Structure 1
Amino acid sequence: MSTTSAEGATPSGTGRTVQLRRYVLVDGLLDDFTAWWRSRLVPARRAYGFDIEFSYALPETSEFVWAVSLPGDADAFRAVEADYLASPERAAAFDGQPTWTTSQAVALVREVPAA
């Protein structure tokens, strides 16, 4: 898994930090993954206060892209994420699941307004 961070990850004026998550999925698992993600992973994330900003599937390339956010700065985000990563809710969501991804890229991002 590739994980990077961005300084100034809190989008201007929103008071939130956003993390972009990009996965390349094992061929043939996109539909199963999205069903699992929706039913198990989203509730586990929300239990720790994360909001799901968006999610998109790219069927042609077996990719899944989504973003989560929390109020506060990057340090606050990292602290809550550390709790979530060690949580029983996350462990239960992943229990008995196959390896869904062949690669991942995860990074804190900042908004770039179009105008």
Structure 2
Amino acid sequence: MRTVQLRRYTLVEGEYDAFVAWWNEWMPRVRPAAGFPIEFAYGLPETNEFVWAVSAEGDEDAFLAREKEYMASDARAEAFAGVPQRVAEYNIRFVRDVVA
């Protein structure tokens, strides 16, 4: 079983390019290393939106346990060190495959 988390962000006005550059530098390194393969990532610059998904083996409880470890990790702390808040709004949900 694999659990997928959809992450939709509305970015702070004027921060789209800086956010995407930071994301490309850090997330492909730290998320997969923590057990969260990146399923996809798309940007909508005209509306300051960024949408991406990560997954992990197991159910939602296993995902949340792994995420708790990731949030407390040195790798994540390094990725976010000194980075200004560039996300104005977060919408993060677990999603389910509906393709038959």
Q: TM-score range, shorter-chain basis?
A: over 0.9
Task: Find the aligned partners of 1:108 and 1:63 in 2 and give their Cα distance.
Answer: 18
Deviations 1:15-73 (CA, angstroms, capped at 9, x unpaired): 21000000000111111111110111331111111110011001111000000001111
RMSD: 1.0
In structure 2, what is the Cα distance between the partners aligned to 1:40 and 1:97?
12
- How many residues matched? 100
Q: Among the aligned pairs, what percent are the same residue? A: 55
Runs of 4+ in structure 1 over 6 Å off: none
Q: TM-score normalised to the size of structure 1?
A: 0.83
What residue identity is the alignment partner of 2:9?
Y
Counterpart in the other structure of 2:46: 60
Gaps of 5+ in 1: 1-14
Partners of 2:14 and 2:45 in 1: how far apart? 9
1: CA distance between counterparts of 2:68 and 2:41? 22
Larger fraction in helix: 2
